[in-house]
Amino acid sequence: MLKIKKLDLYMIRLFIVPFLVIFVSVIFVFIVQFFWSKIDELTGKNINIFIILKFIFYFGITIVPLVTPISILLTSIMTYGEISESQELIAIKSSGISLFRMMNPILFLTFILSLGLYFFSDYAIPKAKKKAKELGYQISVSHPSLKLKEGIFVNIFPDFFIKIDKQSGKDKNHLNGIFIFFYEKNLFINTILAKEGILIPNREDGSFRIKLMNGFFYRDQHYEKKGPYYQNQIVQFDTLIQYFKIPLIEEKIKNLEDYDSYQTLDTIKLIEKINCLKKKKNQFDSEFQKKNYDFIFIKKKLEKISNNRSIILSKMIDRLSFLIEKLKHQKKFLKKRKINLAKYQLELQKKFIFPVTCIIMFLTGAPIGALIRKGGIGFPTIMAITIFIIYHTLLTITQNQGEKADIDPWISAWIPNFIFFPISIWITYKTVMDDF
C-alpha cells in the first residue's frame, strides 16, 4: 500500500508543477493577444494604467474555462510522454501496475479541477464580465472618442447617434464631417451637420460638450396654437457648443437589455430566466392562437349574415391577407425570441461543458503521451495544439449554430464532447491493453 501511495504522490508531483506553469503561460499568451488586438483603443488615449490593468485582469478571469482544458491536455501529454521516454513506464508496468492505475491519481485530480472550474465559472466569471462591462462603459463615458468610427453611425448612449468622416488629434477629439442626430424627451429629432468640431469630455459628471464649427442645426418644433401642428426650424451657425448628459452607469447597466446580459448570470438565475422566457413564449403562442383560430368559423358566421358567396369570399380573402401579414410579423418576432432564449440556454450549458472537457482532454492526452514517448515542450505542444484547435473549431461552429437557434442549444454545446469522449475512451482502452 505504501508503494502505491508513493506512486500516486509521485505522479501528482510530476503533473501539478508543469500544469501550473503551462496554465499561467497560456493565460499570459491570451492576455498579450487580447491587449495587442485592443492596443489602438487602450493606448494613447490618456486612460489610467490601473483601469487598463483592471480590464485585462477581468479578461484573464473570463478565459479560465478555455485555458484549463488545453493546459490539462498539454500537461498530460508531457507527463506521460516523459515517463514513457525515460523507460519509467516500462519499469512500473513490469511491477504489475497498469497504465490506467498510473492515470488514477491525476484523473482524480482532474475531477477536482473540473468541479472547481464549474464553481469558478458560476460565481467568479459572471461577476468579472459584469465588472468588465461596467468598466467598459466608464471608459466610453470618460473617453467618448474611443467609440467613434470613421464613416459609421455610432450610438454613444441611448437616443444619441453620431457619424464622422475623419478623426484626428492626440486624443482623437478633433472631428471632421460631423453628422449628429438625437432625440429629445418628446421624441422630436434634432439633427446637426458640421464641417468640424472638438469633443470635450467632462470626466467628473459623465457629460461631454461638442464644439461645432460651420454647420446647420435642424429641429422639430411642436405648437399648440389653434390645434397642434409641427414646424421645422433650421439654424445656420459658425460656432455651436452642444452639451450632452450621459445616463448614470448604474441606470445604464440596470435598464439596458443588451445582447450579452446573459453572460453575467449564474446557473440559478439562468434557469429562472430561461423558465421565464419559455413561459412568455407559451403565453404569446396561446394568445395568438386564441385570436386567430376564429377564422375557422368565419365562413359559417358570414353565411348566416348573407347568402351572397362573393361577399363571403371577399371578406375571407381580406381576413386571410390580414392573417398572412400578421403571421409574417409573428414569425420574425418568434425568431428573435427563440434566438434570445437560445443564448441563455447555451450559456447555461457552457458552465458544464468545459469541466467535462477537462476530463476528456486528460483521457485523450495521457494515452497519447504514453504512445509517442516524447517529453519536453516541443512535440507534445504540437500535438496538444492540433487536438485543441480541432476541438475548439468544432465547438465554435456548433455554438454559432446554437446561438442562431438553427440547432438545439444544448445539443450544439455538447456535440464536440459527444465526438471526443468516445475517441478518448477508445485511445485509453487501446493504450492500456497495449493493442496499438
pLDDT at 163: 86
| Distance between first and last Cα of the chain | 31
> What separation in angstroms does the CA of 285 have from each of 183, 275, 301, 405?
34, 15, 25, 18
pTM of the model: 0.74
pLDDT at 97: 84
What is the overall mean pLDDT for the chain? 79
pLDDT at 72: 95
pLDDT at 318: 64
Q: Three-state DSSP class for 213?
A: strand
Grid cell at residue 28: 499570459
Q: What is the pLDDT of residues 45-91, one digit of tens each?
A: 666 778 788 888 998 999 999 999 999 999 999 999 888 888 888 88
* C-alpha–C-alpha distance, residues 242 and 192, integer Å: 10
Of 418, 433, 354, residue with least CA distance to 110:
354
Per-residue burial over 332-349, b = 16 or more CB atoms within 10 Å of its CB, e = otherwise: eeeeebeebbbbbbbbbb
- HEC sequence for the chain: CHHHHHHHHHHHHHHHHHHHHHHHHHHHHHHHHHHHHCHHHHCCCCCCHHHHHHHHHHHHHHCHHHHHHHHHHHHHHHHHHHHHHCCHHHHHHHCCCCHHHHHHHHHHHHHHHHHHHHHHHHHHHHHHHHHHHHHHHHHHHHCHHHHCCECCCEEEECCEEEEECEEECCCCCEEEEEEEEEECCCCCEEEEEEEEEEEEEECCCCEEEEEEEEEEEEEEEEECCCCCEEEEEEEEEEEEEEEEECCCHHHHHHHCCCCCHHHHCCHHHHHHHHHHHHHHHHHHHHHHHHHHHHHHHHHHHHHHHCCCHHHHHHHHHHHHHHHHHHHHHHHHHHHHHHHHHHHHHHHHHHHHHHHHHHHHHHHHHHHHHHHHCCCCCHHHHHHHHHHHHHHHHHHHHHHHHHHCCCCCHHHHHHHHHHHHHHHHHHHHHHHHCCCC
The amino acid present at 176, given as its one-letter code, is N
Low-confidence spans in the chain with pLDDT less than 50: 1-2, 227, 250-251, 254-259, 299
* C-alpha–C-alpha distance, residues 177 and 153, integer Å: 12
The amino acid present at 148, given as its one-letter code, is L
Grid cell at residue 120: 469558478
